[in-house]
Amino acid sequence: MSLVTTTDATFAADVLDSPIPVLVDFTAAWCPPCVMIAPVLDRIATDEAERLRVVSLDVDAHPATAASYQVLGMPTLALFIDGEIAVRFMGAKPRAAIMALLEPHLAPAAQRVGGPPAI
């Protein structure tokens, strides 16, 4: 599976209007840490598909969205829940570190949308 991409034109529908939490990877093709983290995010997208969507936004191709969220370094990851940023962090991290940052926000979000409780 490869990450779903979003654009300036589709960001609102893909992310802000999503009924489930969305982790946005603000990335760039020239960014080595972004390339390193891509397989980790792909794995999270597969493993957590019932609780979370993971999308990628190329900041060079779609600068308006990146600018509106003041993304200055890559990779920047932001978890959106109900159209708002719940948590935001920068840099390539291992899966366990990313999930540790996301988990406190995913359990309450799953309960709001009637999903399964976090394990």
Radius of gyration in angstroms for the set of CA atoms belonging to the chain, rounded to a whole number: 13
Cα atoms in the Cβ-side hemisphere of radius 13 Å centred on 9: 1
- Is 31 a residue of the active site? yes
Phi, psi torsion values for 24, nearest 5 degrees: -100, 125
Based on the residue annotation, tell me whether 34 is a catalytic residue of this protein. Answer: yes
Query: What is d(CA 61, CA 49) in angstroms, rounded to the nearest whole number?
Result: 26
Active-site residue (options: 3, 24, 34, 55): 34
Residue of 5, 8, 18, 31 marked catalytic: 31
Residues belonging to the active site: 31, 34
